[in-house]
Amino acid sequence: GKEEIECKAIADDAEAELNVALPALQKAMAEVEKLDKSAISEIKAYKSPPKQVETVLAAVMILFGNKTDWTTAKKVLGEANFLQSIKGYDKDNVSATIMKKIKGYVSHADFKPEAVGAVSKAAGALCTWVHAIYIYASVAKEVAPKRARLKGAQESLAVKQASLQKAQEELAEVTAKVNRLKQKYDDSVGEKNRLRAEADQMELLLDRADKLVKGLAGENERWRASIGQLQNEIGRSLGDALVAAAFLSYAGPFDTQYRSNLVGGWLSAVREQQLPSTENFTFASFCALPTDVRQWNIQGLPADNFSTENGAISVRCSRWPLMIDPQNQANKWVRKMEESQLHIVDLKSKDMLRKIENGIVYGLPVLLQDVLEELDPALEPVLAKALIKVGNREVLRLGDKELDYNKDFKLYITTKLANPHYTPEVSTKTTIINFAVKQQGLEAQLLGIVVQKEQPTLERQKADLTLRVAAGKQKLVDLEDEILRLLSEAEGSLLENETLVDTLQQSKLTSDEVTRQLNEAEETEIKIDAKREEFRPAAIRSSIAYFVLDDMGRVDPMYQFSLDAYVDLFNQSMDKSRTSPKNITGTERCRQINVAHTLSVYQYTCRGLFERDKLLFALQLCLRIMTSENKVPKQEFDFLCYGGAGIERADQRPNPCPEWIDAGAWDNITALDSIPACMGIASAFEQGQRDWRAWFTSSEPEETPLPGDWENKVTEMQRICIIRALRLDRVLFCASRFVRLNLGPQFADPPPFDLRAIFQSSNHRTPLIFVLSPGVDPTAQVKSLANDLSTNVDICALGQGQAPVAMSLMNLGLRSGSWVFLANCHLMLSWMPELEKRIAEYCAMTEDMPHAPHCDFRLWLSASPSPKFPIAILQRGIKMTTEPPRGLRANMLKLYNLVGEEQFGRCQQRLKYQRLLFSLCWFHALLLERRKFKSLGFNVPYEFNESDYSICHDLVIVFLDEYPDETPFDAMRYLIAEANYGGRVTDAMDRRLVNVYITQLFCEQAISPQTEFNLAPQLSDSPYIIPNDADLASAKLAIKTFPQLDNALAFGQHANADIASQIEDSSTLLDTIVSLQPKVIDAGGESKEQKILRICHLMQEEVPPSFDAAAVRRGMGPRADPEPMKTVLYQEVDRYNILLLTLHQTLKASELGVQGLVIVTPELEEIIEAVLEFKVPRAWSTCYPSLKPLTPWMRDLVCRISALQKWINEALPRCFWLPGFTYPTGFLTAVLQTSARKNGIAIDSLSWEFPIINTPATSIAQYAKDGSYCHGLFLEGARWDLDNSCLTEPIPMELCCSMPVIHFKPVDNKKKSIKGIYSCPLYLYPLRTGSRERPSFVISCEVRCGAQGSEYWTCRGTAMLLSTMH
**pLDDT value at position 649?**
76
Task: Give φ, ψ of 1306 to 5 degrees.
Answer: -70, 135
Residue 904: CB atoms within 10 A of its CB come to 17
**pLDDT value at position 494?**
67
- pTM here is 0.78
- Beta-strand pair 1246-1249/1301-1308: antiparallel
- In whole angstroms, what is the distance from residue 1287 CA to residue 1318 CA? 9
Burial class (CB within 10 angstroms; exposed 0-12, middle 13-18, buried 19+) of 174: exposed
**pLDDT value at position 79?**
82
User: CB of 406 within 8 A of CB of 360?
Assistant: yes
- In whole angstroms, what is the distance from residue 890 CA to residue 885 CA? 6
User: CB of 996 within 8 A of CB of 1355?
Assistant: yes
**CA-to-CA dists, residue 214 to 207, 210, 227, 501, 508, angstroms:** 11, 6, 19, 10, 9
**pLDDT value at position 1083?**
43
Report which residue type is found at 27.
K
Burial class (CB within 10 angstroms; exposed 0-12, middle 13-18, buried 19+) of 982: middle
In the beta sheet, which residues pair with residue 360?
A: none
As a three-state string, the secondary structure of 428-490 is HHEEEEECCCCHHHHHHHHHHHHHHHHCHHHHHHHHHHHHHHHHHHHHHHHHHHHHHHHHHHC
DSSP letter (8 states) at residue 1311: P
1032: nearest Cα among 937, 899, 1187: 899
What is the distance in angstroms between the CA of the first residue and the CA of the last residue of the chain? 138
DSSP letter (8 states) at residue 1025: B
Burial 1010-1020 (b: 16+ CB within 10 A, else e): eeebbbbebbe
1160 alpha-carbon distance from chain centroid: 24
895: nearest Cα among 911, 875, 919: 919
Q: What is the mean pLDDT of each run of 10 residues along the chain (1366 residues)?
A: 70 67 68 70 79 84 84 81 81 82 81 83 84 82 72 76 84 89 89 88 79 70 79 86 93 89 91 89 88 87 88 93 92 90 87 91 93 89 90 88 91 91 90 90 87 81 75 76 75 72 74 77 79 89 93 91 90 86 81 93 93 94 94 92 80 88 90 91 90 92 92 93 94 95 92 90 92 87 92 92 93 93 93 90 83 91 92 91 89 90 89 93 95 93 90 94 92 95 94 96 89 87 85 89 92 93 93 83 65 91 94 92 95 96 95 90 91 92 93 94 95 95 96 94 92 93 94 96 94 92 92 84 95 93 93 96 89
DSSP letter (8 states) at residue 108: S
User: CB of 1327 within 8 A of CB of 1265?
Assistant: no
In the beta sheet, which residues pair with residue 1274?
A: 1298, 1361
Q: What is the largest distance, in Å, between two alpha-carbon atoms of the chain?
A: 181
Torsion sign across C-alpha atoms 1168, 1170, 1173, 1174: negative
Report which residue type is found at 955.
L
- In whole angstroms, what is the distance from residue 909 CA to residue 965 CA? 10
Report which residue type is found at 1149.
A
DSSP letter (8 states) at residue 1268: E
Torsion sign across C-alpha atoms 269, 273, 277, 278: positive
- In whole angstroms, what is the distance from residue 577 CA to residue 590 CA? 10
Task: Give φ, ψ of 31 to 5 degrees.
Answer: -65, -40
| Residue 552, C-beta contacts closer than 8 angstroms, at least 6 positions apart | 559, 561, 605, 609, 613, 617
**pLDDT value at position 170?**
86
| Residue 111, C-beta contacts closer than 8 angstroms, at least 6 positions apart | 52, 55, 56, 59, 105, 127, 130
Annotate 646-697 with DSSP letters as a single string: T--STTPPPPS-TTTS-HHHHHHHHHHHTSGGGTTHHHHHHH-HHHHHHHHH
- In whole angstroms, what is the distance from residue 178 CA to residue 184 CA? 10
